[in-house]
Amino acid sequence: MRQAFKDHLAKLEQDIFTMGEMVCIATNRAVKALKEQNVEEAKKIEHDDIYINEKRWAIEEKCINLIATQQPVATDLRELIAVLNIVTELERMGDYAEGIAKIVINIGDQPHVKPLIDIPRMAEIAVDMINKTLRAYAERDDKSARLICKQDDEVDELYTQVYRELLTIMIEDPKTITGATYLLWTSHNLERIADRVTNICERIIFLVTGEMVENVSKY
């Protein structure tokens, strides 16, 4: 029974890595579509979000079946709850990537109100955080999870910088308000992806240590 549970858990972890890769790809595709103002690609990204959702549902179904058939003990339940939390966070990240794709569709061929420098950098850091977090989960590495959370500060700083720049642009030229708002929404979505990564890191720390912490980057 114990070996069977471990085998099932290993498969669940592989599903999580697959889902994480799907989210990273969606995020990169969405920001690339924004830079290139590729509306057709954005429509594909919007459609493909269903595959991320389906992956979440499939993983949740497997967790429910394990609870029903494998008689998990307390430590097993902690593992399964971690899986459920992680896939929930990943699914929401996918929604943020889809949201960026919708913004690309709304912008269409209207020129951006500012060069896209900080927004792609935010995406780069956020995707790096996702990949590192999944490795920390696989290795049950709570120390790495704590360090990853500190990268969220970088994303927050970039978001603040983008916000201030766009606010200045809107004040100086009210005609840019719509375009600036779209970019502000985009940067907000990326900032939220990084926040969701920190939620996963907090879950990893709990999984390894039993310690429930919030605002890990402050520790």
Which residues lie below 8 Å from residue 78, measured CB to CB, with a gap of 6+? Answer: 206, 207
Closest CA to 185 of 159, 205, 206: 159
pLDDT, greater one: 216 or 104: 104
- Looking at the predicted structure, is the pLDDT value of residue 44 above 50? yes
pLDDT, greater one: 6 or 45: 45
Closest CA to 45 of 127, 104, 106, 133: 104
- Looking at the predicted structure, is the pLDDT value of residue 17 above 60? yes
Measured in Å, how far apart are the chain's first and last C-alpha atoms?
39
- Looking at the predicted structure, is the pLDDT value of residue 219 above 50? no
Helices (H), ranges, the chain: 2-36, 39-69, 74-107, 118-139, 142-172, 177-209
Give mean pLDDT, residues 57-71. Answer: 90
CATH number of the domain that residue 183 is part of: 1.20.58.220
Domain that holds residue 118: 2-218
Mean pLDDT in the chain?
93
Residue type, position 52, single letter: I
In the block, residue with structure tokens 């579509």: 33
CA pair distance 38, 20, nearest whole angstrom: 24
Count how many domains the chain has. Answer: 1
For CA atoms 92, 93, 94, 96, the dihedral sign is: positive
